[in-house]
Amino acid sequence: MVILKTEALTKIYGKGPGMVTALENAALSVEQGEFIAIVGTSGSGKSTLLHMLGGLDRPTSGKVFVENKDIFSLKDEALTIFRRRKIGFVFQAFNLIPTLNTYENVVFPIQLDGNSIDEKFVGDVIQSLGLSKLQDRLPNQLSGGQQQRVAIARALASKPAIVLADEPTGNLDSRTSQDVLSLLKVTGQKYGQTIVMITHNEAIAQMADRVIRIEDGHILKGGDVNA
């Protein structure tokens, strides 16, 4: 089943001589449970694409469908709620709340949405990512790899339809990067999560089920799940 799809997705910044087309007529589809890597050089449009897949930025034209829902047909407040419930984010900078411990950071988005916490599921996610003994630690008491594992647990804990990972290993050394990505892939498979990751690292990209290549705002290869 296709869980994520775009149609003629285009993003243009500015007007006149300073106009920049960051993304042009991008079309891709992702099956439920797939682990996709979007690869491109700096300025290729991969971050712009990811931000629109997650509803963080509206396109100039085109559509994004998540579970057959045209997300940009929603008004801002409804889109924010949809994003919080359906999409998990893992960022390069971790974005953990410094005053909250590991467990509190993991469940924060669930509480923000006013939902009850599935303690069994959250506990299983925390254990799967090797965080059981670190639940009381603040972010500044964790290594970079541990902080990224907390960020992954936070993204998985609310049971989103899709997890979007933006250069999730960019601040980690190569050994830790491999460990973190292996955990992301294993936990994604375990919980049936669909993962879309952007990276400039070819070795990291090869861990994915499918690689989508983007350059100069155009998807060159791998966008169609049936290709």
Structural domains in the chain plus CATH codes: 32-59+72-221 (3.40.50.300)
**Are the beta carbons of 196 and 223 closer than 8 angstroms?**
no
Reported as type and span, the H/E element at residue 4 is strand 2-13
pLDDT, residue 194, reads: 94
pLDDT(214) > 60: yes
Which pLDDT band, with edges at 50, 70 and 90, does 113 fall under? confident
Q: How confident is the model over 68-77, as a mean pLDDT?
A: 95
Q: Please report which confidence band the pLDDT of residue 212 belongs to, taking 50, 70 and 90 as the band edges.
A: very high
Strands annotated E in 14-91:
20-26, 29-31, 35-39, 61-66, 69-70, 87-91
What's the pLDDT score for residue 218? Answer: 93
**Each residue's pLDDT tens digit, 130-167:** 899 999 999 999 999 899 899 999 999 988 989 999 98
